[in-house]
A and B are shown apart, each in its own frame.
Chain A
């Protein structure tokens, strides 16, 4: 069962091709670590999959509700934590938005400060709020752009818990990162983007798990 299919996707920003014929097929329930250096096109690909951007060429096929966690926090500074999540619950068509929001805050450890405005939160708290938002409507497809970057340890624990819950529910996850080590542990599949091209896409092997640099050395164009 295919959850995501990207076929020959090109994306130009002016003259610059951020993606050059990238293709990716992801089975339902898989957890894909989307690896690549800065500028490889990971964010661009994820945004296209999240329908935030149209490809210049190529086709996209997505099934299911999407949960997106991008670079920005994606919460409103002038709303409280509970108001933020209730809003997103209502946008996502969740059946009981206020209750779901409360439960989500509980899960990420922000229950005590649920009435606090997001602008008053510490960075770690804002990150946990953003994570809560992305998982709120139990999406079938999670698109996470460098989710572990600069998270504090509490937020990392929360994210890992939510990810494993999502996996056991059968959700599909595509997670971009250039911190290979953490991603490898969670991933069932790996995709390597280099300068807009999908150099490798396939199951995670033991070599990848044991030696994070192996992937680049074996498949990458730029030899270390």
Chain B
């Protein structure tokens, strides 16, 4: 059942994505946008939104773990953070490519990209800390705490980056997604859905891996207990 779900989500997500790519690259007229590179927005922004969705899942799973002490929530949290971080990387990479093509620089400290970079660093700490703690209960508890702290920081990061950019009047491109004409919303939304589906499939795969490893752990425990 689970495998069917994973395949189903994965295939559906991939098909949507491919269809979306077709739309993005071949259907949308070039003169409507600021050059070809603008097409990347249909990957760049959905990636960020997907990452946010998964970070949200992670913090809920972390709270659930602290509440119930059930390790399946810890598995959900780490899977969501890993996949979310991956999408943040996609966002950072596409943003960087765009900046290079459009303005000749690989990185511009504009508000949105800087915020994404901060998020990446926050959750990178989470991913780095996990291997440093050997004992599973301790590792799961600490990860849950970190994930909650990271999520609590996100709104403050937004506040601060806005301030920073306004005050120092950083030159630099700010992505104007608000100005996207309604006729272009379908590929945008489909992009988000496609990423969510693919991301969910990846999380399920990771969850499956985690649950196998927990099963091995508990078998080992039963063996020890004999």
A residues bordering B, Cβ < 8 Å? 12-17, 20, 54, 56, 196
B225 with A14: CB separation less than 8 A:
no
| Contact partners of B137 in chain A: CB under 8 A | 12, 56
Find the B residue at minimum CB distance from A21.
B225
B residues bordering A, Cβ < 8 Å? 69, 134-137, 217, 220-221, 224-225
Separation in Å of the A1 CB from the closest CB of chain B? 30
Separation in Å of the A165 CB from the closest CB of chain B? 38
| Contact partners of B217 in chain A: CB under 8 A | 14-15
| Contact partners of A20 in chain B: CB under 8 A | 225
Return 22 A-B CB contacts under 8 Å, by A number.
A12-B136, A12-B137, A12-B221, A13-B135, A14-B134, A14-B135, A14-B136, A14-B217, A15-B217, A15-B220, A15-B221, A15-B224, A16-B221, A16-B224, A17-B221, A17-B224, A17-B225, A20-B225, A54-B69, A56-B69, A56-B137, A196-B225
| Contact partners of A16 in chain B: CB under 8 A | 221, 224
Separation in Å of the B91 CB from the closest CB of chain A? 37
Interface of B (DSSP majority class) = helix
Which of B134, B220, B224 lies at the interface centre, i.e. has the most chain A CB atoms within 10 A of its CB?
B224
Distance in angstroms between the alpha carbons of A54 and B135 in the assembled complex? 14
Distance in angstroms between the alpha carbons of A91 and B136 in the assembled complex? 32
Distance in angstroms between the alpha carbons of A56 and B224 in the assembled complex? 16
Find the A residue at minimum CB distance from B136.
A14
Distance in angstroms between the alpha carbons of A131 and B81 in the assembled complex? 47
Which of A15, A16, A20, A54 lies at the interface centre, i.e. has the most chain B CB atoms within 10 A of its CB?
A15
| Contact partners of A54 in chain B: CB under 8 A | 69
Find the A residue at minimum CB distance from B135.
A14
Find the B residue at minimum CB distance from A20.
B225
Separation in Å of the B83 CB from the closest CB of chain A? 26
| Contact partners of B134 in chain A: CB under 8 A | 14
| Contact partners of B69 in chain A: CB under 8 A | 54, 56
Q: Which 8 A-B pairs have the closest CB atoms?
A: A15-B220, A15-B221, A17-B225, A14-B135, A20-B225, A15-B224, A16-B224, A15-B217
Which of B134, B135, B217, B221 lies at the interface centre, i.e. has the most chain A CB atoms within 10 A of its CB?
B221
Separation in Å of the A222 CB from the closest CB of chain B? 15
Distance in angstroms between the alpha carbons of A15 and B136 in the assembled complex? 9
Separation in Å of the A93 CB from the closest CB of chain B? 28
| Contact partners of B221 in chain A: CB under 8 A | 12, 15-17
Which of B134, B220, B225 lies at the interface centre, i.e. has the most chain A CB atoms within 10 A of its CB?
B225
Separation in Å of the B116 CB from the closest CB of chain A? 36
Separation in Å of the B143 CB from the closest CB of chain A? 16
Known: A14-B217, A15-B224, A54-B69. 7 other contacts (CB 8 A): A12-B136, A13-B135, A15-B220, A15-B221, A17-B225, A56-B69, A56-B137
Separation in Å of the A50 CB from the closest CB of chain B? 18
| Contact partners of A196 in chain B: CB under 8 A | 225
Find the A residue at minimum CB distance from B220.
A15
Separation in Å of the B106 CB from the closest CB of chain A? 44
